[in-house]
Amino acid sequence: MSAFRSQVLRVVRRIPPGRVTNYGAVAAMAGKPRAARGVGWALSGLPEDTDVPWWRVVNRRGEISTPRFNHLARIQRALLEDEGVEFREGRIPLERFGWDPDVEELEGL
DNA sequence: ACAATGACATAAG
DNA sequence: GCTTATGCCATTG
């Protein structure tokens, strides 16, 4: 278990329900702004019973980046919709559901 | 240490 | 907007 992976999981756990973020942002919050791929790897090894909301992590376009040939993508979408996240033409409007620490404070004002 | 892989990101055509 | 190419980071053989 690398420190990087622990950080990634810690960050993903902070993502509020009904919101999504991208790998790059998670990587940045984990301390490695360019480790988006590392984040993807970290999430790929998560167990099903994990307490980490990995489904709130999508790619920069707001699309589900999980393998299309796997059930994973399907359950991810189901979980997101269940939290109130809307899918627009197969992708999520990051302008509304995209989560960023800065935006979080702006909205909280 | 090197090469290859991956749930990525960004730039260029 | 889509397809390629390049860069980046962590992990594995």
* CB-CB neighbours of A57 under 10 Å: 26
Distance A102 CA to C11 C1' (A): 31
A61 to each of A1, A45, A64, how far by Cα in Å?
30, 23, 9
Predicted confidence at residue A102, as pLDDT, reads 67
What pTM was computed for the model? 0.91
Residue A21: its H or E element: strand A21-22
The tokens describing A60, both together, are: 């920069």
Beta bridge partners of A20: A98
Distance A38 CA to B6 C1' (A): 8
Distance A40 CA to C5 C1' (A): 21
Q: What is the pLDDT along chain A (109 residues), one digit of tens a residue?
A: 789 999 999 999 999 999 999 999 999 999 999 999 999 999 998 988 899 999 999 999 999 999 876 788 899 999 999 999 999 999 999 989 999 776 666 777 7
Chain A span 27-86 residues with beta carbon within 7 Å of strand B: 36-41, 43-44, 46, 54-55, 57, 59-61, 65-67, 72, 76
Predicted confidence at residue A108, as pLDDT, reads 74
Statement: the CB of A34 is under 7 Å from strand C: yes
The tokens describing A5, both together, are: 């992976």
Predicted confidence at residue A24, as pLDDT, reads 94
